[in-house]
Amino acid sequence: MPMQPGLFTPVKVGPLELRNRIVMSPMTRIRAGEGCVPTESMVRYYSQRASAGLIITEGTHPSQMGRGYTFPPGLHTDEQAAGWRKVTDAVHAAGGRIFVQLMHAGRVSHSNLLPDHALPVAPSAIAINGDVHTFDGKHPFEIPRPLATEEISAVIEEYRRAAELSIKAGFDGVELHAATGYLPNQFQVTGSNRRTDAYGGSLDGRTRFTLEVMEALCGVRGADRVGIKIAPGYTVNDTFDDDPAKTYTYLARRLNPLGLAYLHVGYDSGYGRGTAPPFNPIDLLRSVYTGTLLPVGGFNKATGEAAVAEGRTDLVVYGRMFISNPDLVERLRLDVPMNSPDVRTFYGGDDHGYTDYPTLAEEKRPAQSP
Protein backbone atom coordinates (compact mmCIF):
# COMPACT_ATOMS: atom_id res chain seq x y z
CA MET A 1 0.00 0.00 0.00
CA PRO A 2 1.45 3.45 -0.83
CA MET A 3 2.51 5.47 2.22
CA GLN A 4 0.10 8.24 3.19
CA PRO A 5 1.72 11.62 2.49
CA GLY A 6 2.36 14.04 5.34
CA LEU A 7 3.59 17.64 5.60
CA PHE A 8 7.18 16.41 5.27
CA THR A 9 6.70 14.21 2.22
CA PRO A 10 8.41 15.70 -0.85
CA VAL A 11 6.09 16.80 -3.63
CA LYS A 12 6.35 17.99 -7.20
CA VAL A 13 4.89 21.36 -8.18
CA GLY A 14 5.27 21.93 -11.89
CA PRO A 15 8.88 20.94 -12.69
CA LEU A 16 10.04 21.62 -9.12
CA GLU A 17 10.77 18.94 -6.54
CA LEU A 18 9.83 20.48 -3.18
CA ARG A 19 11.40 18.90 -0.12
CA ASN A 20 8.26 19.27 1.96
CA ARG A 21 4.66 20.47 1.57
CA ILE A 22 4.99 23.52 3.77
CA VAL A 23 4.68 26.80 1.86
CA MET A 24 5.49 30.27 3.19
CA SER A 25 2.64 32.65 2.37
CA PRO A 26 3.23 35.99 0.64
CA MET A 27 3.43 38.68 3.33
CA THR A 28 3.99 42.38 2.79
CA ARG A 29 6.55 43.66 5.32
CA ILE A 30 7.32 47.18 3.99
CA ARG A 31 11.06 47.02 4.42
CA ALA A 32 12.45 47.55 0.91
CA GLY A 33 15.09 50.20 0.31
CA GLU A 34 15.46 53.25 -1.91
CA GLY A 35 13.90 52.64 -5.35
CA CYS A 36 11.86 49.74 -3.88
CA VAL A 37 15.01 47.57 -4.12
CA PRO A 38 15.26 44.51 -1.81
CA THR A 39 17.76 45.00 1.02
CA GLU A 40 20.33 42.83 2.79
CA SER A 41 17.82 42.41 5.64
CA MET A 42 15.36 40.97 3.15
CA VAL A 43 18.07 38.54 1.98
CA ARG A 44 18.50 37.42 5.59
CA TYR A 45 14.74 37.23 6.28
CA TYR A 46 13.99 35.00 3.30
CA SER A 47 17.07 32.79 3.64
CA GLN A 48 16.24 32.23 7.33
CA ARG A 49 12.96 30.70 6.11
CA ALA A 50 14.40 28.67 3.20
CA SER A 51 13.56 25.31 4.80
CA ALA A 52 9.98 25.82 3.56
CA GLY A 53 9.22 23.61 0.58
CA LEU A 54 8.35 26.82 -1.27
CA ILE A 55 8.50 30.51 -0.34
CA ILE A 56 6.15 32.97 -2.02
CA THR A 57 7.47 36.51 -1.61
CA GLU A 58 5.57 39.48 -0.33
CA GLY A 59 3.45 41.37 -2.87
CA THR A 60 5.81 43.00 -5.38
CA HIS A 61 4.64 45.68 -7.79
CA PRO A 62 5.17 45.14 -11.52
CA SER A 63 5.18 48.88 -12.27
CA GLN A 64 5.39 52.23 -10.51
CA MET A 65 1.63 52.64 -10.82
CA GLY A 66 1.15 49.28 -9.13
CA ARG A 67 2.81 50.41 -5.90
CA GLY A 68 0.48 50.33 -2.93
CA TYR A 69 2.54 51.15 0.14
CA THR A 70 5.46 53.20 1.36
CA PHE A 71 8.36 50.71 1.09
CA PRO A 72 7.23 47.58 -0.77
CA PRO A 73 9.69 45.91 -3.15
CA GLY A 74 9.16 46.21 -6.90
CA LEU A 75 10.12 44.16 -9.93
CA HIS A 76 10.20 46.62 -12.79
CA THR A 77 13.79 47.90 -12.74
CA ASP A 78 17.15 46.20 -13.23
CA GLU A 79 18.22 47.38 -9.75
CA GLN A 80 15.20 45.66 -8.20
CA ALA A 81 15.93 42.46 -10.17
CA ALA A 82 19.55 42.58 -8.97
CA GLY A 83 18.37 43.05 -5.37
CA TRP A 84 16.00 40.11 -5.68
CA ARG A 85 18.82 38.04 -7.22
CA LYS A 86 20.63 38.22 -3.88
CA VAL A 87 17.48 36.94 -2.15
CA THR A 88 16.94 34.04 -4.57
CA ASP A 89 20.64 33.08 -4.55
CA ALA A 90 20.60 32.90 -0.74
CA VAL A 91 17.37 30.85 -0.70
CA HIS A 92 18.70 28.47 -3.35
CA ALA A 93 22.03 28.12 -1.55
CA ALA A 94 20.03 26.96 1.48
CA GLY A 95 18.17 24.39 -0.66
CA GLY A 96 14.90 26.34 -0.91
CA ARG A 97 12.59 27.38 -3.74
CA ILE A 98 11.03 30.79 -4.24
CA PHE A 99 8.26 32.35 -6.34
CA VAL A 100 7.66 36.11 -6.56
CA GLN A 101 4.14 37.39 -5.96
CA LEU A 102 3.21 40.11 -8.46
CA MET A 103 0.85 42.57 -6.81
CA HIS A 104 -0.60 45.59 -8.60
CA ALA A 105 -2.45 47.63 -5.98
CA GLY A 106 -4.80 49.45 -8.34
CA ARG A 107 -7.19 51.46 -6.14
CA VAL A 108 -5.55 50.16 -2.91
CA SER A 109 -2.99 52.95 -3.42
CA HIS A 110 -2.86 56.73 -3.11
CA SER A 111 -1.57 59.59 -5.27
CA ASN A 112 0.95 60.32 -2.51
CA LEU A 113 2.68 56.99 -3.32
CA LEU A 114 2.53 57.23 -7.11
CA PRO A 115 4.68 58.99 -9.75
CA ASP A 116 3.77 62.65 -10.30
CA HIS A 117 1.04 62.24 -7.68
CA ALA A 118 -1.12 60.48 -10.27
CA LEU A 119 -4.42 59.07 -9.07
CA PRO A 120 -4.45 55.29 -8.61
CA VAL A 121 -5.93 53.33 -11.51
CA ALA A 122 -8.79 50.83 -11.29
CA PRO A 123 -11.56 49.28 -13.41
CA SER A 124 -14.09 51.94 -12.29
CA ALA A 125 -14.21 55.25 -10.41
CA ILE A 126 -15.22 53.74 -7.06
CA ALA A 127 -13.23 54.49 -3.92
CA ILE A 128 -12.59 52.06 -1.07
CA ASN A 129 -14.24 53.18 2.13
CA GLY A 130 -11.35 53.55 4.59
CA ASP A 131 -7.83 54.90 5.02
CA VAL A 132 -4.50 54.17 3.38
CA HIS A 133 -1.01 54.65 4.86
CA THR A 134 1.01 57.10 2.77
CA PHE A 135 4.30 58.97 3.12
CA ASP A 136 2.58 61.62 5.22
CA GLY A 137 0.34 59.45 7.34
CA LYS A 138 -3.13 58.06 6.89
CA HIS A 139 -5.44 59.43 4.21
CA PRO A 140 -8.86 58.35 2.98
CA PHE A 141 -8.71 56.23 -0.18
CA GLU A 142 -9.21 58.35 -3.31
CA ILE A 143 -11.62 57.86 -6.17
CA PRO A 144 -9.39 56.03 -8.67
CA ARG A 145 -9.05 56.83 -12.34
CA PRO A 146 -10.77 54.18 -14.48
CA LEU A 147 -8.41 52.58 -16.99
CA ALA A 148 -9.44 53.28 -20.60
CA THR A 149 -9.94 50.12 -22.66
CA GLU A 150 -6.91 50.94 -24.80
CA GLU A 151 -4.68 51.35 -21.72
CA ILE A 152 -5.27 47.83 -20.42
CA SER A 153 -2.86 46.05 -22.77
CA ALA A 154 -0.05 48.28 -21.43
CA VAL A 155 -0.82 47.20 -17.85
CA ILE A 156 -0.74 43.54 -18.94
CA GLU A 157 2.58 44.27 -20.65
CA GLU A 158 3.94 45.53 -17.31
CA TYR A 159 3.12 42.19 -15.72
CA ARG A 160 4.74 40.38 -18.67
CA ARG A 161 7.90 42.41 -18.28
CA ALA A 162 7.97 41.68 -14.55
CA ALA A 163 7.77 37.97 -15.40
CA GLU A 164 10.79 38.44 -17.67
CA LEU A 165 12.65 40.21 -14.88
CA SER A 166 11.69 37.34 -12.54
CA ILE A 167 13.95 35.09 -14.63
CA LYS A 168 16.82 37.56 -14.35
CA ALA A 169 16.14 37.79 -10.62
CA GLY A 170 16.46 34.00 -10.28
CA PHE A 171 12.89 33.21 -9.20
CA ASP A 172 11.63 29.64 -9.68
CA GLY A 173 8.26 31.01 -10.75
CA VAL A 174 5.68 33.77 -10.34
CA GLU A 175 2.34 34.09 -8.58
CA LEU A 176 -0.35 36.58 -9.59
CA HIS A 177 -1.96 38.29 -6.60
CA ALA A 178 -5.59 38.19 -7.68
CA ALA A 179 -7.00 38.17 -4.12
CA THR A 180 -8.11 40.58 -1.37
CA GLY A 181 -9.04 43.54 -3.51
CA TYR A 182 -5.89 44.13 -5.57
CA LEU A 183 -6.17 45.06 -9.26
CA PRO A 184 -7.15 41.70 -10.85
CA ASN A 185 -9.68 41.17 -8.04
CA GLN A 186 -11.04 44.70 -8.61
CA PHE A 187 -11.88 43.65 -12.16
CA GLN A 188 -13.43 40.32 -11.06
CA VAL A 189 -16.08 41.56 -8.65
CA THR A 190 -19.27 43.51 -9.30
CA GLY A 191 -18.67 45.95 -6.44
CA SER A 192 -15.60 47.56 -8.05
CA ASN A 193 -16.23 46.85 -11.73
CA ARG A 194 -19.03 48.79 -13.43
CA ARG A 195 -17.41 48.73 -16.87
CA THR A 196 -19.44 48.37 -20.01
CA ASP A 197 -16.54 47.37 -22.29
CA ALA A 198 -15.05 43.88 -22.81
CA TYR A 199 -13.46 44.01 -19.30
CA GLY A 200 -16.72 44.30 -17.36
CA GLY A 201 -20.31 43.16 -17.18
CA SER A 202 -20.55 39.41 -17.72
CA LEU A 203 -18.40 36.83 -15.89
CA ASP A 204 -16.43 36.53 -19.09
CA GLY A 205 -15.80 40.29 -19.08
CA ARG A 206 -14.94 40.61 -15.39
CA THR A 207 -12.43 37.73 -15.48
CA ARG A 208 -10.86 38.80 -18.79
CA PHE A 209 -8.15 40.98 -17.19
CA THR A 210 -7.04 38.20 -14.81
CA LEU A 211 -6.96 35.61 -17.57
CA GLU A 212 -5.08 37.86 -19.99
CA VAL A 213 -2.47 38.60 -17.30
CA MET A 214 -2.16 34.87 -16.59
CA GLU A 215 -1.66 34.14 -20.27
CA ALA A 216 1.08 36.78 -20.40
CA LEU A 217 2.84 35.31 -17.34
CA CYS A 218 2.53 31.77 -18.70
CA GLY A 219 3.91 32.91 -22.04
CA VAL A 220 7.11 34.02 -20.32
CA ARG A 221 7.59 31.41 -17.58
CA GLY A 222 5.63 28.39 -18.86
CA ALA A 223 2.32 27.64 -17.10
CA ASP A 224 3.90 25.09 -14.75
CA ARG A 225 5.92 27.89 -13.12
CA VAL A 226 2.94 30.20 -12.66
CA GLY A 227 0.42 30.26 -9.80
CA ILE A 228 -2.44 32.55 -8.82
CA LYS A 229 -3.90 33.55 -5.47
CA ILE A 230 -7.60 34.19 -4.93
CA ALA A 231 -9.64 34.65 -1.75
CA PRO A 232 -13.25 33.95 -2.72
CA GLY A 233 -15.81 35.99 -0.86
CA TYR A 234 -13.50 37.88 1.53
CA THR A 235 -14.54 41.51 1.74
CA VAL A 236 -11.23 43.09 2.76
CA ASN A 237 -10.48 46.27 0.76
CA ASP A 238 -14.20 46.59 -0.05
CA THR A 239 -14.24 43.51 -2.23
CA PHE A 240 -17.93 42.89 -2.78
CA ASP A 241 -19.52 40.64 -5.36
CA ASP A 242 -23.18 39.92 -6.08
CA ASP A 243 -22.50 36.18 -6.29
CA PRO A 244 -18.97 35.23 -5.15
CA ALA A 245 -19.52 31.46 -5.37
CA LYS A 246 -20.49 31.83 -9.03
CA THR A 247 -17.71 34.29 -9.88
CA TYR A 248 -14.87 32.25 -8.40
CA THR A 249 -16.03 28.85 -9.64
CA TYR A 250 -16.27 30.39 -13.10
CA LEU A 251 -12.73 31.76 -12.78
CA ALA A 252 -11.37 28.41 -11.50
CA ARG A 253 -12.95 26.61 -14.46
CA ARG A 254 -11.36 29.06 -16.87
CA LEU A 255 -7.96 28.52 -15.19
CA ASN A 256 -8.11 24.72 -15.64
CA PRO A 257 -6.95 24.56 -19.26
CA LEU A 258 -3.87 26.69 -18.51
CA GLY A 259 -2.19 23.83 -16.58
CA LEU A 260 -0.84 26.10 -13.84
CA ALA A 261 1.61 25.21 -11.08
CA TYR A 262 -1.18 25.84 -8.56
CA LEU A 263 -4.26 27.75 -7.45
CA HIS A 264 -3.63 29.37 -4.05
CA VAL A 265 -6.85 29.91 -2.11
CA GLY A 266 -7.22 32.17 0.92
CA TYR A 267 -9.55 31.27 3.78
CA ASP A 268 -8.54 34.24 5.88
CA SER A 269 -6.94 37.46 4.78
CA GLY A 270 -4.78 37.62 7.91
CA TYR A 271 -5.36 41.37 8.02
CA GLY A 272 -8.01 41.29 10.73
CA ARG A 273 -10.27 43.31 8.40
CA GLY A 274 -13.17 42.33 6.18
CA THR A 275 -15.53 39.43 6.62
CA ALA A 276 -15.41 35.77 5.62
CA PRO A 277 -17.68 34.23 2.98
CA PRO A 278 -20.70 32.08 3.88
CA PHE A 279 -18.97 29.06 2.25
CA ASN A 280 -15.66 27.23 2.58
CA PRO A 281 -13.66 28.31 -0.49
CA ILE A 282 -11.69 25.07 -0.71
CA ASP A 283 -14.86 22.97 -0.57
CA LEU A 284 -16.30 25.23 -3.24
CA LEU A 285 -13.34 24.88 -5.58
CA ARG A 286 -12.16 21.31 -5.02
CA SER A 287 -14.79 19.83 -7.32
CA VAL A 288 -14.20 22.51 -9.95
CA TYR A 289 -10.44 23.01 -10.12
CA THR A 290 -8.50 20.07 -11.53
CA GLY A 291 -4.95 21.14 -10.62
CA THR A 292 -2.98 21.60 -7.39
CA LEU A 293 -4.71 23.65 -4.67
CA LEU A 294 -2.78 25.57 -2.01
CA PRO A 295 -5.06 26.51 0.89
CA VAL A 296 -4.01 29.26 3.30
CA GLY A 297 -5.51 30.67 6.48
CA GLY A 298 -5.22 29.73 10.11
CA PHE A 299 -3.44 26.40 9.73
CA ASN A 300 -1.52 24.85 12.62
CA LYS A 301 0.37 21.57 12.80
CA ALA A 302 -2.68 19.38 13.42
CA THR A 303 -4.95 20.95 10.82
CA GLY A 304 -2.17 21.10 8.23
CA GLU A 305 -1.21 17.44 8.78
CA ALA A 306 -4.85 16.38 8.63
CA ALA A 307 -5.51 18.32 5.42
CA VAL A 308 -2.60 16.58 3.66
CA ALA A 309 -3.16 13.12 5.18
CA GLU A 310 -6.85 13.13 4.26
CA GLY A 311 -5.99 14.17 0.72
CA ARG A 312 -7.90 17.46 1.00
CA THR A 313 -4.81 19.29 -0.27
CA ASP A 314 -1.31 18.52 -1.51
CA LEU A 315 0.41 21.42 0.22
CA VAL A 316 -0.38 23.75 3.12
CA VAL A 317 0.44 27.45 3.24
CA TYR A 318 1.42 29.12 6.51
CA GLY A 319 1.50 32.90 6.93
CA ARG A 320 1.83 34.56 10.32
CA MET A 321 3.55 31.52 11.88
CA PHE A 322 6.39 32.01 9.41
CA ILE A 323 6.81 35.64 10.48
CA SER A 324 7.69 34.62 14.03
CA ASN A 325 9.25 31.20 13.41
CA PRO A 326 12.06 31.22 10.85
CA ASP A 327 12.51 27.48 11.55
CA LEU A 328 8.78 26.76 11.28
CA VAL A 329 9.44 23.52 9.37
CA GLU A 330 11.64 22.20 12.17
CA ARG A 331 9.17 23.30 14.85
CA LEU A 332 6.30 21.58 13.02
CA ARG A 333 8.40 18.43 12.66
CA LEU A 334 9.26 18.34 16.38
CA ASP A 335 5.83 19.60 17.43
CA VAL A 336 7.28 22.18 19.82
CA PRO A 337 5.86 25.57 20.89
CA MET A 338 5.92 28.46 18.44
CA ASN A 339 6.99 32.08 18.93
CA SER A 340 3.97 34.39 18.68
CA PRO A 341 4.06 37.07 15.97
CA ASP A 342 4.11 40.69 17.12
CA VAL A 343 1.56 42.57 15.02
CA ARG A 344 3.21 45.91 15.86
CA THR A 345 6.23 45.00 13.71
CA PHE A 346 4.35 43.45 10.78
CA TYR A 347 4.57 46.50 8.53
CA GLY A 348 7.74 48.55 8.30
CA GLY A 349 10.47 49.30 10.79
CA ASP A 350 13.92 47.83 11.27
CA ASP A 351 15.14 44.27 11.80
CA HIS A 352 13.30 43.98 15.11
CA GLY A 353 10.32 41.71 14.57
CA TYR A 354 11.76 40.85 11.16
CA THR A 355 15.02 38.90 11.29
CA ASP A 356 15.42 38.58 15.08
CA TYR A 357 12.84 35.90 15.90
CA PRO A 358 14.90 33.06 17.40
CA THR A 359 15.22 29.54 16.04
CA LEU A 360 15.01 26.64 18.48
CA ALA A 361 18.80 26.34 18.45
CA GLU A 362 19.16 30.05 19.28
CA GLU A 363 16.67 29.74 22.14
CA LYS A 364 18.74 26.94 23.66
CA ARG A 365 22.07 28.73 23.29
CA PRO A 366 23.35 29.96 26.69
CA ALA A 367 23.44 33.74 27.13
CA GLN A 368 26.77 35.22 25.99
CA SER A 369 29.00 36.32 28.85
CA PRO A 370 30.20 39.93 28.52
Ligand X SMILES: Cc1cc2nc3c(=O)[nH]c(=O)nc-3n(C[C@H](O)[C@H](O)[C@H](O)COP(=O)(O)O)c2cc1C
Nearer to ligand X, 177 or 195 (CB): 177
280 touching ligand X, by CB under 6 A: no
Radius of gyration of the chain (CA): 20
Among 14, 26, 96, 184, binds ligand X (CB under 6 A): 26
Could you tell me which of 217, 189, 50 has the C-alpha nearest to residue 122? 189
Within residues 289-308, the interface with ligand X by CB under 6 A covers 296-299
Applying CB under 6 A, among 53, 96, 120, 270 the residue interacting with ligand X is 270
Query: Footprint of ligand X on residues 211-230 (CB under 6 A)?
Result: 229
User: Quick check: is 182 catalytic?
Assistant: yes
Q: Considering only 82-90, 248-256, 264-272, 284-292, which stretch makes contact with ligand X by CB under 6 A? A: 264-272
Residue nearer to ligand X on the CB measure, 27 or 217: 27
Determine the interface stretch with ligand X among 26-34, 152-160, 239-247, 304-312 (rule: CB under 6 A): 26-34
Among 14, 38, 53, 59, binds ligand X (CB under 6 A): 59
Please report whether residue 179 would count as binding ligand X according to CB under 6 A: yes
Count of residues interacting with ligand X (CB under 6 A)? 24
Closest CA to 84 of 17, 164, 13: 164
**Residue closer to ligand X, measured from CB, 197 or 330:** 330
Catalytic residues: 182
Residues in contact with ligand X by the rule CB under 6 A: 25-28, 58-59, 101, 103, 177, 179, 229, 266, 268-270, 296-299, 318-321, 346
